[in-house]
A and B are shown apart, each in its own frame.
Chain A
Amino acid sequence: MGHHQNHRILMVSDFFYPNFGGVENHIYYLSQCLLKLGHKVVVVTHAYGNRSGIRYMTGGLKVYYVPWRPFYMQNTLPTIYGLLPIIRTILIREKITIVHGHQAFSTFCHEALMHGRTMGYKVVFTDHSLYGFADIGSIHMNKVLQFTLADLSQAICVSHTSKENTVLRSGLPPEKVFVIPNAVDTAMFKPADQCPSIEEIVIVVISRLVYRKGADLLVEVIPEVCRLHPNVRFIIGGDGAKRVRLEEMREKHSLQDRVEMLGAVQHDQVRSVLISGHIFLNSSLTEAFCIAILEAASCGLLTVSTRVGGVPEVLPEDMIVLAEPDPSAMVQAVGKAISMLPEIDPQVMHKRMRELYNWHDVAKRTEIVYDHALKCSNQNLLERLSRYLSCGSWAGKLFCLVMIVGFLLWRLLELWQPADEIEEVPDVILPDNHHEEMLHQSQ
Chain B
Amino acid sequence: MDLRSCDKSSPPRPRWRKVAYGGMQTGYGDNYTDESFLEGMVTNASVVKRDMIKVMLDSISISEYLCIVALVVLVWTLTLTSTLDENSLLFLDASLLVSGFLILIFTQESLCFNLLLHYFLNISFFITGLYVLAPIYQTLTRSISSDSIWAVTVSLLLLHLFLHDYSGSTVITPVAPKNPALSSCISVNASVVASVFIASRLPSRLHVFAIMLFSLLVFLFAPLVTYCIKKYSFRLHLCVSILLIALTLSFVYTLDRLLFVVLLSLLVFVNVVCPYWLIRLHEYKFEINGPWDEAKLCFDITD
Which residues of A approach B to under 8 Å, CB–CB?
Answer: 130-134, 158-165, 167-168, 174-181, 212, 214, 216-217, 220, 245, 285-286, 288-289, 306, 308-310, 313-316, 325-327, 352, 355-358, 361, 365, 368-369, 372
B202-249, CB < 8 A from A: none
* B20 near A309: Cβ-Cβ < 8 Å: no
Q: A162: which B residues are within 8 A, CB to CB?
A: 292
* A181 near B20: Cβ-Cβ < 8 Å: yes
Complex Cα distance, B299 from A326, in Å, reads 8
Q: B37: which A residues are within 8 A, CB to CB?
A: 163-164, 167, 174
Within the complex, what minimum Cβ distance (angstroms) separates A143 from chain B?
Answer: 15
Q: A216: which B residues are within 8 A, CB to CB?
A: 297, 301
Within the complex, what minimum Cβ distance (angstroms) separates B4 from chain A?
Answer: 10
* A245 near B303: Cβ-Cβ < 8 Å: yes
Q: Is B174 at the interface (CB under 8 A from chain A)?
A: no
Most chain A CB neighbours (cut-off 10 Å) among B18, B31, B290? B31
Could you list 8 further interchain pairs (A-B, Cβ under 8 angstroms) beyond the known A167-B37, A168-B290?
A132-B294, A133-B289, A160-B19, A217-B297, A245-B303, A309-B292, A310-B20, A315-B21
Known: A220-B299, A245-B303. A134 touches B21 (CB 8 A): no
* B293 near A286: Cβ-Cβ < 8 Å: yes
Task: Show 12 A/B contacts (Cβ-Cβ < 8 Å), sorted by A.
Answer: A132-B292, A132-B294, A161-B290, A168-B288, A174-B33, A217-B297, A220-B299, A306-B295, A310-B20, A316-B19, A316-B21, A368-B30
Complex: chain A residue closest to B25, CB-CB: A179
* B292 near A178: Cβ-Cβ < 8 Å: no
Q: Is B115 at the interface (CB under 8 A from chain A)?
A: no
* A161 near B292: Cβ-Cβ < 8 Å: yes
Could you give, for residues 271-303 of chain B, a 1 whenever the CB lies within 8 Å of some chain A CB and a 0 otherwise? 000000000000000011111111111110101
B6-64, CB < 8 A from A: 18-24, 29-31, 33, 37-38, 40-41
Most chain A CB neighbours (cut-off 10 Å) among B22, B295, B297, B303? B295
* B30 near A179: Cβ-Cβ < 8 Å: yes
Known: A174-B33, A175-B31. A286 touches B295 (CB 8 A): yes
Q: A313: which B residues are within 8 A, CB to CB?
A: 18-21
Q: B29: which A residues are within 8 A, CB to CB?
A: 178, 368
Complex Cα distance, B20 from A125, in Å, reads 18
Within the complex, what minimum Cβ distance (angstroms) separates B20 from chain A?
Answer: 4
* A168 near B38: Cβ-Cβ < 8 Å: yes
Q: A352: which B residues are within 8 A, CB to CB?
A: 1
Most chain A CB neighbours (cut-off 10 Å) among B21, B23, B40? B21
Which residues of B approach A to under 8 Å, CB–CB?
Answer: 1-2, 18-24, 29-31, 33, 37-38, 40-41, 287-299, 301, 303
Chain B interface, >50% SS class: loop
Known: A133-B288, A355-B1. A179 touches B295 (CB 8 A): no
Within the complex, what minimum Cβ distance (angstroms) separates B303 from chain A?
Answer: 7
Complex Cα distance, B297 from A245, in Å, reads 16
Known: A164-B37, A179-B30. A158 touches B20 (CB 8 A): yes
* A165 near B303: Cβ-Cβ < 8 Å: no
Q: B303: which A residues are within 8 A, CB to CB?
A: 245
* B294 near A161: Cβ-Cβ < 8 Å: no
Within the complex, what minimum Cβ distance (angstroms) separates B285 from chain A?
Answer: 12
* A361 near B295: Cβ-Cβ < 8 Å: no
* B290 near A177: Cβ-Cβ < 8 Å: no
* A212 near B294: Cβ-Cβ < 8 Å: yes
Complex: chain B residue closest to A324, CB-CB: B295
Complex: chain A residue closest to B1, CB-CB: A355
* B41 near A308: Cβ-Cβ < 8 Å: no
* A365 near B30: Cβ-Cβ < 8 Å: yes
* B30 near A308: Cβ-Cβ < 8 Å: no
* B287 near A180: Cβ-Cβ < 8 Å: no
Q: When the two chains form the complex, which single residue of A132, A158, A160, A164 contacts B41, counting CB atoms closer than 8 Å?
A: A164
Q: B288: which A residues are within 8 A, CB to CB?
A: 133, 168
Known: A212-B294, A313-B20. A164 touches B38 (CB 8 A): yes
Q: B38: which A residues are within 8 A, CB to CB?
A: 164, 167-168
Complex: chain A residue closest to B36, CB-CB: A160
Complex Cα distance, B21 from A315, in Å, reads 6
Within the complex, what minimum Cβ distance (angstroms) separates B221 from chain A?
Answer: 35
Complex Cα distance, B29 from A372, in Å, reads 12
Known: A313-B19, A314-B21. A161 touches B2 (CB 8 A): no
Known: A159-B20, A176-B31. A130 touches B1 (CB 8 A): no
Known: A133-B287, A174-B37, A175-B33. A365 touches B299 (CB 8 A): no
Q: A309: which B residues are within 8 A, CB to CB?
A: 291-292
Q: A212: which B residues are within 8 A, CB to CB?
A: 294
Known: A133-B288, A357-B21. A168 touches B294 (CB 8 A): no
Q: B18: which A residues are within 8 A, CB to CB?
A: 160, 313
* B301 near A165: Cβ-Cβ < 8 Å: no
Complex Cα distance, B56 from A127, in Å, reads 45
Complex Cα distance, B31 from A352, in Å, reads 25
Within the complex, what minimum Cβ distance (angstroms) separates A418 from chain B?
Answer: 38
Q: When the two chains form the complex, which single residue of B2, B23, B40, B295 contacts A325, counting CB atoms closer than 8 Å?
A: B295
* B30 near A180: Cβ-Cβ < 8 Å: yes
Within the complex, what minimum Cβ distance (angstroms) separates A402 from chain B?
Answer: 26
User: Considering the complex of A and B, which 4 residue pairs feature the smallest CB-CB distances, nearest first?
Assistant: A181-B20, A325-B295, A165-B292, A130-B292
* B297 near A325: Cβ-Cβ < 8 Å: yes
* B21 near A358: Cβ-Cβ < 8 Å: no
Q: B287: which A residues are within 8 A, CB to CB?
A: 133-134
* A164 near B290: Cβ-Cβ < 8 Å: yes
* A168 near B2: Cβ-Cβ < 8 Å: no
Q: B294: which A residues are within 8 A, CB to CB?
A: 132, 212, 285-286, 308
Q: When the two chains form the complex, which single residue of B31, B295, B298, B299 contacts A308, counting CB atoms closer than 8 Å?
A: B295
* A316 near B2: Cβ-Cβ < 8 Å: yes
Q: B301: which A residues are within 8 A, CB to CB?
A: 216
* A327 near B299: Cβ-Cβ < 8 Å: yes
Q: A214: which B residues are within 8 A, CB to CB?
A: 295
Q: A286: which B residues are within 8 A, CB to CB?
A: 292-295
Q: A315: which B residues are within 8 A, CB to CB?
A: 21
* B297 near A285: Cβ-Cβ < 8 Å: yes
Complex Cα distance, B293 from A285, in Å, reads 9
Q: A132: which B residues are within 8 A, CB to CB?
A: 292-294
Complex Cα distance, B303 from A358, in Å, reads 42
* A356 near B21: Cβ-Cβ < 8 Å: yes
Q: B41: which A residues are within 8 A, CB to CB?
A: 164, 168
Within the complex, what minimum Cβ distance (angstroms) separates B67 from chain A?
Answer: 33
* A179 near B298: Cβ-Cβ < 8 Å: no
Complex Cα distance, B30 from A181, in Å, reads 10
Q: When the two chains form the complex, which single residue of B33, B291, B298, B299 contacts A161, counting CB atoms closer than 8 Å?
A: B291
Within the complex, what minimum Cβ distance (angstroms) separates B152 from chain A?
Answer: 31
* B299 near A164: Cβ-Cβ < 8 Å: no
Q: A220: which B residues are within 8 A, CB to CB?
A: 299
Complex: chain A residue closest to B298, CB-CB: A326
